[in-house]
Amino acid sequence: MLSQTCNLNQLHRFMKEQIGPVCDPRETDSLIRMVFDHVGLNYLDAFRYPDKPCQPEIIPQINEIVTEITNNKPIQYILGYTIFYGLKIHVSKHVLIPRPETELMVDMVIRNMNRLHPAILDIGTGSGCIAIALKKHLPGARITAIDRYADALSVAERNAGLHHADIRFVELDFLRNPEAELTGRFDLIISNPPYVTHYEKKFMQGNVLDHEPPAALFVEDTDPLIFYRAIAGYAREHLKKAGDLWLEINEKFGPEMLDLFTGFGFSDCRILKDLQEKDRFIHAKK
């Protein structure tokens, strides 16, 4: 455990020694920076002023955080928040941790939006990160965000309040008659639905499997496109003419996605790649 009378150099060395063995080397410094920032320290001061003493009151907090990291708990759940598209987004065990891939999809939507007051539907909102980022950068948008789980919506509503984002939240299982609650028509439908097959679990990191909500991640191996068929059927009736559909997808099913949405009558269907050059998004137009 870290001593109550340590300096910044000793703090940095302690964290490196404790976190390094359990983390990807590329992530260790990033995690240390996040912890420094969380407790109000400047990471660079560990090198500029190594002998500067740490405030004793932050030491128990750092010890607790480091212990949880070494127990394989994601740093975002430890701190209770992450940064998504420049916004602080609270997270809990009830919602997925937003990924950079989803940030990229949001960025593509914002850069390609040509309507001043678009009606937007976010399916499976989770923490609300997509809906809130869109509202902050498209202030004229009218956004409806749905999720099956009340606990997730509670997190999303908290985040919307934090950022003063006027969003309509609806508790709804999209696989069961969404038309009953969502009767309107939209200029944009966006979603990052569950798309990881159970077979792929064996390739995933333990901190994801042990801590993130499985219902937001996994689909049955026998029907991996279940959510995309439901979205395509709903969008065919509720997306406005020339409206846009943006979805995050499993990299293994790019061709199947094109066949699915083309079969539902969508035009200009394109698969786009993420920062690792993997098939990650589909964009289609009504």
The reported pLDDT for the residue numbered 266 is 96
Q: For 51-79, what is the mean pLDDT? A: 95
The reported pLDDT for the residue numbered 14 is 95
The reported pLDDT for the residue numbered 165 is 98
* Crossing angle for the helix pair 25-38 and 59-70, to the nearest 10 degrees: 150
Determine contact, residues 193/227, Cβ cutoff 8 Å: yes
CA 260 to chain centre: 25
The reported pLDDT for the residue numbered 257 is 97
The sign of the torsion formed by the CA atoms of 132, 136, 137, 138 equals positive
The per-residue DSSP string of 159-171 comes to HHHHTT--EEEEE
The reported pLDDT for the residue numbered 162 is 98
DSSP 53: B
Tokens linked to 226: 């279940």
Which pLDDT tens digit goes with each residue over 191-220?
Answer: 999 999 999 998 888 888 889 999 999 999
Banded model confidence at residue 5, pLDDT cuts 50, 70, 90:
confident
Banded model confidence at residue 121, pLDDT cuts 50, 70, 90:
very high
Banded model confidence at residue 1, pLDDT cuts 50, 70, 90:
confident
* Residue 180 predicted with pLDDT over 90: no
Q: Which of 134, 187, 192 is nearest to 165 (CA)?
A: 134
The reported pLDDT for the residue numbered 4 is 81
Tokens linked to 283: 């964009």
Banded model confidence at residue 167, pLDDT cuts 50, 70, 90:
very high
Q: For 171-178, what is the mean pLDDT? A: 94
Please tell me the distance from the alpha carbon of residue 215 to that of residue 174, in angstroms, as a whole number: 13
- Using CA atoms, how far residue 146 sits from 24, 51, 150, 152, 192, in Å, is 35, 51, 10, 10, 12
Determine contact, residues 38/83, Cβ cutoff 8 Å: no
How many Å is the maximal CA-CA distance in the chain? 67
Tokens linked to 154: 């509670």
Q: For 115-132, what is the mean pLDDT? A: 97
Give the sheet arrangement for strand 186-191, strand by strand: 167-171, 142-147, 119-123, 186-191, 239-248, 279-285, 267-273
The reported pLDDT for the residue numbered 245 is 98
* Residue 26 predicted with pLDDT over 80: no
The reported pLDDT for the residue numbered 252 is 96
Please tell me the distance from the alpha carbon of residue 98 to that of residue 115, in angstroms, as a whole number: 26
Entry pTM:
0.94
What rounded mean pLDDT belongs to the chain?
95
Percent of the chain with pLDDT over 90: 90
